[in-house]
Amino acid sequence: DEEIPWGHEELELAERVLRVSPIYYDPDLVVDHVYADSVSDYLTKTYRQEVERPYLWAKQGRSEREQWLMILADAVTPTNYIGLPLRSGLIHGAGTLAGAAGRVRGMRRQDAGPTD
């Protein structure tokens, strides 16, 4: 889907393929991803990727209400903010907040309509 500006394109493709055929693992096929090099890099990447998630949800037929409820549920789930070691738990919690903020931005962008 060329409308997905950043992130999720392989997920969207896999979901479409799975509707007509199973997907088989082939160790010779590789998808390279740029991973985060720092905490701020991780939070930025999480935010950017989650801005696009409401677009995918809408394509899947999820209502706007359902999308907002999913964002809220993820943001208030206590297990998204705890973990061991403590540093990892804090980073995961910050990632949850960054993701929620990205999804909210994505929802607001959808409400504004096309930006072309």
The angle that helices 86-112 and 64-76 make with each other, rounded to 10 degrees, is: 160
The angle that helices 86-112 and 39-51 make with each other, rounded to 10 degrees, is: 30
Inside any domain, residue 2: no
Tens digit of pLDDT for each residue in 4-37? 777 778 888 888 899 999 999 898 988 777 789 9
Inside any domain, residue 89: yes
Asked if 64 and 107 touch (Cβ cutoff 8 Å), the reply is: yes
pLDDT of residue 13: 86
pTM, two decimal places? 0.80
Inside any domain, residue 3: no
Inside any domain, residue 49: yes
Examine the pLDDT at 116 and tell me if it is beyond 50.
Answer: no
Most confident of 21-25, 30-34, 71-75, 86-90: 71-75
Domain that holds residue 98: 9-112
Inside any domain, residue 97: yes
Tens digit of pLDDT for each residue in 30-57? 877 778 999 999 999 999 999 999 999 9
Examine the pLDDT at 98 and tell me if it is beyond 50.
Answer: yes
